[in-house]
Structure 1
Amino acid sequence: MKKYIMITLSAIMLWCSSCDSDFLDQKVLTVLNEETVFTDSLRSVQYLTGIYADINFSWSLNRTMGVGGMGLYAASDEGDLDNAQPNSYVLRLIAGAGNASNVDKTIWTVAYQRIRGINLMLRNKDKIPVSAALKTRMIAEAKFLRAWYYFTLLKHYGGISLMGDKVFELTDNLNIARSSYEETLNYILGECDVAAADLPLNYNGTPDYGRITKGAVLALKSRALLYAASPLFNGGIATVTTDANLSKLLGYSNADPERWKKALDAAEAVINLNQYVLNTSTSTTPGAGFYETFTKRINNEYIFTFMRGNNKYVENLFDMPSRGNNTPKCFPFQEMVDAFGMKNGLPITDDKSGYNPNDPYTNRDPRFYYTIIYNGALRFRSGFSTEQPVYSYVGSGSDQIYTITTTGYYCYKMIDKTAVTAGGSETGRCDPLIRYAEILLNAAEANNEYYGATTKVYDYLIQIRKRAGITAGADNLYGLKANMTKEEMRSAIMNERRVELAFEEHRYWDVRRWKIAEQIENKTMTGMEINRLANGTYTYTKISTRQHVFKPEMYFWPIPQSEIIKAPALKQNPGY
């Protein structure tokens, strides 16, 4: 914690010095400190803007967890990582070898740095020379950001040390015990309630677009309460630890169905704002609205985003060698591929779906074509007037399986089809930290768990499937089975989340909160070896790729051992 204090103060100095960075200006520099920063309106606003800088650090597709970086998709059953990263913490995670001494400390360090930075601003809020209305909004933004960083800690570690508004100094006692899961969650919800009251519904395309709105605050509440109602936290901790003191840090000791009602109310509070819709397209191509969501900086589906300038960073991470990227970072597993049903909405395991294992990529859920690059998929290529096929079959060239991709696939999620690493235009994308599709899925899940498979649950899923380009069918159920039981609908919702929210930092947490990671992730993941025959047809053989190991303690991350040494009052999570 002492290190975080020094880093926070240093960051203020470095950031503020960049505000007037003309090195040719020979004027005497002003000493920058709390007084000079927070008595200046511009510097105060920019200081708050700087707190936004790490809101995506858990979501990030190239999150710091080893050389090169990769997202949490690589620690789940979504996609494999490249083999050039032997020191990656992801490899330790999936091998069951993560521990308190080798854990990636980025989450712990960055979150507490940002929380302290927020507290520093709140300590000086009365000095900030802006209008009363702007100051009220700035304080609300800060409180939400503090809640956001605390929730990031909560989902990794369980209950953690709450600092309140206190700004700790080097001489303070920093040996602070962890708060319980319930106390941490309630603190986050309380901060959200305060922030929501003082934030606007939208910014109407003004330069402030991208700042936190009331909808973003309510959406965080929706996510937090959905997690809290889920089996792992809602009375399910006993299989992780029987220690009553540790149990309090990780969840509720009792299972209470009313927590699902709270989660439902929170999701419907976002829906009832009438501010958000699923993004649609003027194109008649099935699923175009889904695809275009991720190439637009501004759209009415985004609730909370990490803003970016025009970029090609997703292409630089995911594209294949033939498109200029010799170090792609994501290779979807066959398990991810098989989760996509058919265009008629039926799963590939359904005899009526029309799935053909000898022609496996035809007539699939349109979202499949915007998420997975498979053998024969079309992809923009510099120097060609039309999209060109990507071939990953054995012997096909630079993109073939075993040379680069370990699974026979590349990731297409969030990529702009007019851009590649080596050519094409940049896109106005940003990182979708919370979008409306998630809220509809949150509402569907909570409603089903509390009331069963009601008409409302069907409606929420149908909205998403219709936008996805799935055909309605004669019954207008978009492939959903009529009169499902709660258990059947639960399975449908789980798969819908997996497909709709793929590679957006949901799957890793979903299988944990559902308490199914021991079945889902404790196995060898697979890919697809494709061979081309002399007559031009293909054969498809499922192959083993990477063994994943999951132990009960892995539902939570270990607190870094270096922090336990500095603050013995912190209790380590069970199993570490």
Structure 2
Amino acid sequence: MNFYKYLYHKRNLLFCLGLLSCTMFGCDKNLLDSVPTDRLSENIFWKSQADAELAVNALYNDLDGAEIFSLDALTDIAHVNQPFAVDAYIELGTYDASSSRLYNTWSNAYKGIGAANYFLANVGKIEGSKDETLIVRYIGEARVLRAYQYIKLAYLFGAVPLVKSPLTLQEGREIQQASLNEIYDFIDSELDQAAASLPESYTSNDVGRITRWAALGLKARADLYAGRFAASAKAAKAIIDSRRFELYPLYANLFTYAAENNKEVLLDKQFLENIYTQSVFNLLAPYSQQNGQSTYVPTKALTDIYETSSGLIITDANSGYDPKNPSKNRDSRLALSIFLDGDPLPNGAIFHPAPNSGTADAVGSTYIASTTGFNIKKYIDKKDLANPSKSGLNIILLRYAEVLLTYAEAKIELGEIDASVYDAINQVRSGRTDVKLPLVSNQLNQSQLRQQVRRERTVELAFEGLRLADIRRWKTAENVVPGKVYGITYQNNKGETAVVEAASESRVFNAKKHYLWPIPQREINLNPNLKQNPNW
């Protein structure tokens, strides 16, 4: 039993969530004169170690869940399937600072930050018998969960307010933005301190909590994003040298119930079927499946990045790539990550998405069917077919494959290319029973290796919410995002090979402003001290 399941059976999760309702700003002290009926009052809370446990448990609710899929849909590798969805306006470049998508991302992140700040400001009030080591651990967990939110805010919005403690309403209206460097300094400091106070692993009811390695893994990610390559490589190397983690042997099962809490996962958001749930099956499954919505769908641009089974890119004359049968003889992760024509579906039917297939999944058959003819396969577990909106499947937020590729990329950027770099890349390429690509040649130069590790990140981590940060920091978004969205290759009714073109306007990415989202206008209206990002 992991700790989310334990938490539910010990005490209703929503009970302790109410405690943290005063987050970004301080509460009105007059509200504490009487005991409220819908939340816990400070007059009766923060009395025991059990209170601290309930409060820190509540912080995990603010980790990302199904939100990660929408981030990839704002890049080249996936597409917002319905043109009237709010995310579609970001694809088309027609959004601005009034976008509800941007505001919700901002406010949800600061909700998590505010809750962590509230915990850290109050946990010291506990008196009497308590395990000091355990309290220190709880503080470490809160610091990591707060740093997680700042990593996201930094790459999406750039300079943002750095809030380290609860604010009054007036303070919230006057706070200014910290520089990006200050934010990354804070993230580094927090994660270093937290790592020193957190255990290396948990057992029984505590499985799923933040470990020392999760803190170091997020530090490696943050420092990679910040261009602090030496620090990133060091943090990743500590995880590698611990020998506590390994690649799960079957990529095909990695995102299913069968692989939960395996030794590749450093951090996930845990769920409990029918009780504390997510709706990924409902969100991503093909239309023909129970309530499948195809909300975000893969693109041809992504499928073209996968190498052939010979380890060559498809534009190489010797690759063996067949443009009339593009999924044949390819990197196995293509078919393990994406529903392709002829694949069996959870309900036992066969996936046939061609416009002329006559099936429920045929492109154009309904506005809900995939407009590219591809559907995301990760996290689509047959077990969720009967109840697609009440899945208990954990969503992975950080895993060992990312750590390996982070280490390799950081070392490449430092020019410190040695056997450990090739080993990290080749583990990802060939370290599983069902993923066996040729090893990368040790004769590649820095530029070639850079392209190799970027390609590996794209295909290995597809649909895990990391692509947007990658193309922003690589400054490649202006090259890969703009243009039409294409999908499957199929035989039309004339027997000709055709490629699906998604029925949407061309995507837009303006390098002068789209590398950062605008600060939400609502926030600027409340606090004129906030400065808008360039050209918004």
Both proteins in one fold, TM over 0.5: yes
Change in CA separation of 1:465 and 1:13 when aligned onto 2, cut-off 3 Å: closer
Which of the numbers 394, 407, 416 marks the counterpart of 2:372? 407
Say whether residues 1:351 and 2:317 are aligned partners.
Answer: yes
CA distance in 2, matches of 1:544, 1:380: 27
Say whether residues 1:49 and 2:57 are aligned partners.
Answer: yes
Say whether residues 1:505 and 2:470 are aligned partners.
Answer: no
Which of the numbers 251, 262, 265 marks the counterpart of 2:234? 265
SS in 1 for 2:18: helix
Deviation sequence 1:57-115 (CA, Å, 0-9, x none): xxx4356xxxxxx61122111222222x5151x12211112211225211221222222
Name the residue aligned to 1:376.
Answer: 342
Deviation sequence 1:191-249 (CA, Å, 0-9, x none): 1111111100000x3201111100011011100110111xxxxxxxxxxxxxxxxxxxx
Name the residue aligned to 1:75.
Answer: 74
CA distance in 2, matches of 1:513, 1:375: 34
**Does the 8 A contact of 1:290 with 1:467 survive in 2?**
no
Q: Which amino acid aligns with 1:140?
A: G
Name the residue aligned to 2:95.
Answer: 98
Which of the numbers 274, 281, 289 marks the counterpart of 2:243? 274
Residues 117-126 or 178-187, more deviating: 117-126
CA distance in 2, matches of 1:425, 1:176: 40
CA distance in 1, matches of 2:522, 2:140: 33
Say whether residues 1:196 and 2:195 are aligned partners.
Answer: yes
**Does the 8 A contact of 1:264 with 1:446 survive in 2?**
yes
Residues 126-135 or 140-149, more deviating: 126-135
CA distance in 2, matches of 1:31, 1:531: 60
Say whether residues 1:560 and 2:501 are aligned partners.
Answer: no
Cα offset, 1:183, TM superposition: 0.7
- Runs of 4+ that moved beyond 6 A: 28-31, 423-427
Change in CA separation of 1:102 and 1:135 when aligned onto 2, cut-off 3 Å: same
Change in CA separation of 1:92 and 1:425 when aligned onto 2, cut-off 3 Å: closer
Name the residue aligned to 2:11.
Answer: none
Change in CA separation of 1:427 and 1:362 when aligned onto 2, cut-off 3 Å: farther
Which of the numbers 61, 65, 78 marks the counterpart of 2:66? 61
SS in 1 for 2:268: strand
Name the residue aligned to 2:412.
Answer: 448
Say whether residues 1:516 and 2:516 are aligned partners.
Answer: no
CA distance in 2, matches of 1:426, 1:108: 26
Name the residue aligned to 2:177.
Answer: 178
**Does the 8 A contact of 1:312 with 1:419 survive in 2?**
no
CA distance in 2, matches of 1:113, 1:423: 30
**Does the 8 A contact of 2:156 with 2:516 survive in 1?**
yes
Cα offset, 1:539, TM superposition: 4.6
SS in 1 for 2:301: helix
CA distance in 1, matches of 2:39, 2:310: 66
CA distance in 2, matches of 1:298, 1:101: 39
CA distance in 2, matches of 1:424, 1:505: 21
Alignment of 1:116-131 (within 5 A): 116-129=114-127, 130-131=130-131
Name the residue aligned to 1:152.
Answer: 152
Name the residue aligned to 2:509.
Answer: 550
**Does the 8 A contact of 1:319 with 1:420 survive in 2?**
no
Cα offset, 1:335, TM superposition: 0.7
Name the residue aligned to 2:217.
Answer: 219
**Does the 8 A contact of 1:445 with 1:490 survive in 2?**
yes
**Does the 8 A contact of 1:128 with 1:135 survive in 2?**
no
Residues 213-222 or 404-413, more deviating: 404-413
Q: Which amino acid aligns with 1:400?
A: A
Change in CA separation of 1:218 and 1:358 when aligned onto 2, cut-off 3 Å: same
The Cα RMSD (Å) is 2.7
Residues 91-100 or 484-493, more deviating: 91-100
**Does the 8 A contact of 2:299 with 2:485 survive in 1?**
yes
Alignment of 1:449-488 (within 5 A): 449-451=413-415, 453-468=417-432, 469-471=434-436, 478-488=438-448
**Does the 8 A contact of 2:217 with 2:266 survive in 1?**
yes
Change in CA separation of 1:112 and 1:481 when aligned onto 2, cut-off 3 Å: same
Name the residue aligned to 2:40.
Answer: 32
Which of the numbers 497, 503, 509 marks the counterpart of 1:540? 497
**Does the 8 A contact of 2:66 with 2:395 survive in 1?**
no
Change in CA separation of 1:326 and 1:42 when aligned onto 2, cut-off 3 Å: same
CA distance in 1, matches of 2:67, 2:523: 25
Name the residue aligned to 1:12.
Answer: 19
Cα offset, 1:507, TM superposition: 0.9
Say whether residues 1:137 and 2:137 are aligned partners.
Answer: yes
Deviation sequence 1:271-295 (CA, Å, 0-9, x none): 1222211111xxxxxxx34533543
Change in CA separation of 1:272 and 1:572 when aligned onto 2, cut-off 3 Å: same
Residues 524-533 or 341-350, more deviating: 524-533
Q: Which amino acid aligns with 2:311?
A: G
